[in-house]
Amino acid sequence: MTKDQLENILAFIDRSKGTLGRLKLTFGLKIVVVLAATLIVCYQLFLVYVQPDQYGIKVVRIGLNRGVQKEVYHAGLTFVLPFGFQQMYSLPKGIQVLELTNFPETAAEAARKDRAAHIQTSDGFFVDVDVSMLYHIKDPYLVFTTIGPGTLFEDNGIIPKAEPALKETLGKLTTEEFYNSPLRVRKAEEAKAQLNRELNPKGLEIDQVLVRYFKYSPEIQKNIEEKKLQDQMVFTNQAAARAAKEEAQLKKIVQEGMVIAAVEMEKGKAYVTRKIAEKDLYVRKIKADADLLVKLAEAERVRLKNDSLKGIGSERMVGLKMADVYKGLDLIILPSDGSSGINPLNLDNTLQLFDVRKGGDK
């Protein structure tokens, strides 16, 4: 407890005595006030509160087991002997941030800030690199014993090691390679690994090394941008040439496809024409076969009819037909005498005349 705190407690007790005297307090109330003052004094003298986001490291200066105690204290009240016998130091638990930047207004307010890393590239140019380093205290006892209390883990721990590690890893890049994001990230990971090899034995561990921004001198920056524009034009032209080649290939494929489609269409038309011709030929053949059958049947009918006319009674049939012819005649003048005379009443004569019955046939 400091001297000012002790004086404040004594002044409070004096004021309390004056007030109690004026109010004529009872003896019991006086005891309560004395006990409360005693508790306050003991709290201030013998107890130290370790915050939830802190580690507590106790140092014994007088007595047995002097020196830094290996036990690490966490959140809560801890007994500490006053008047310099023992002392409690605190170290932060959470993630710490170191910002290397020439633009402090862009950095986090709670972060520790230092100038940007000034790095020489492998081809001899200088570049200022803004880097954010995230780290934490892994072993507070090691940090306290190897680096020191308070903020010495920043001043004597990570800050002296940060820029040399970045120079060694990022310095392997050329001016143009700084614009290669994957390569730049790999070099930042190498810097993280190198820092951990140096700081882990001291109780610190690096979580991330993030390259946020980098800047060359205006002349170099202009040259780089001009060269990048030229490179982009070359890439653009190459891409355009490839695109033209692919377009020509596409047109060729389309034309070949159209030719193939036209050939297949002609094949289809020829196939249809051939099938129609085959159909017509088949129809004509069937019709010809049918006509032939009809004609053959007609000829057979005529033959059969002729055959029937040659049979018995055919003469009478002719006579009957002739009689039918005569039915339509109202008047016929024919000679009735001589060899060519016609006597309708002489049927035999008529049959002989038409060569249906020979003379003397019955």
> Of 79-93, 161-175, 293-307, which gets the smallest average pLDDT?
293-307
What pTM, to 2 d.p., does this model score? 0.54
Residue 29 has pLDDT above 80, yes or no: no
Residue with tokens 């007609």: 298
**What pLDDT score does 203 carry?**
95
**What pLDDT score does 56 carry?**
94
Residue 20 has pLDDT above 50, yes or no: no
**What pLDDT score does 318 carry?**
66
- The span from the CA of 128 to the CA of 163, in Å, is 11
Look at 33 and 141; give whichever has higher pLDDT: 141
The mean pLDDT value for 284-305 works out to 86
Look at 341 and 1; give whichever has higher pLDDT: 341
Residue 246 has pLDDT above 80, yes or no: yes
Residue 219 has pLDDT above 90, yes or no: no
> Of 36-45, 68-77, 232-241, which gets the smallest average pLDDT?
36-45
pLDDT band at 90 (very low <50, low <70, confident <90, very high): very high
DSSP 129-190: EEEEEEEEES-HHHHHHHT-STTHIIIIIIHHHHHHHHHHHHTTS-TGGGG-HHHHHHHHHH
Residue 228 has pLDDT above 90, yes or no: no
Contact 224, 175 (CB under 8 A): yes
**What pLDDT score does 312 carry?**
60
**What pLDDT score does 336 carry?**
65
pLDDT tens profile 96-136: 999 999 988 888 888 999 999 999 999 888 899 999 999 99
- The span from the CA of 265 to the CA of 231, in Å, is 50
Boundaries of every domain in the chain? 3-91, 96-216, 244-310, 314-353
**What pLDDT score does 244 carry?**
86
Contact 93, 51 (CB under 8 A): no
CA dihedral 122, 123, 126, 132 (to 10 degrees): -40
Look at 280 and 330; give whichever has higher pLDDT: 280
- The span from the CA of 202 to the CA of 91, in Å, is 14
**What pLDDT score does 342 carry?**
67
Residue 265 has pLDDT above 80, yes or no: yes
Look at 284 and 7; give whichever has higher pLDDT: 284
Contact 161, 151 (CB under 8 A): no
Residue 356 has pLDDT above 80, yes or no: no
> Of 17-26, 125-134, 237-246, which gets the smallest average pLDDT?
17-26
3-state secondary structure of 95: coil
Contact 45, 82 (CB under 8 A): yes
Supply the CATH classification number for the domain 96-216.
3.30.479.30
Residue 23 has pLDDT above 50, yes or no: no
> Of 90-99, 212-221, 240-249, 302-311, which gets the smallest average pLDDT?
302-311
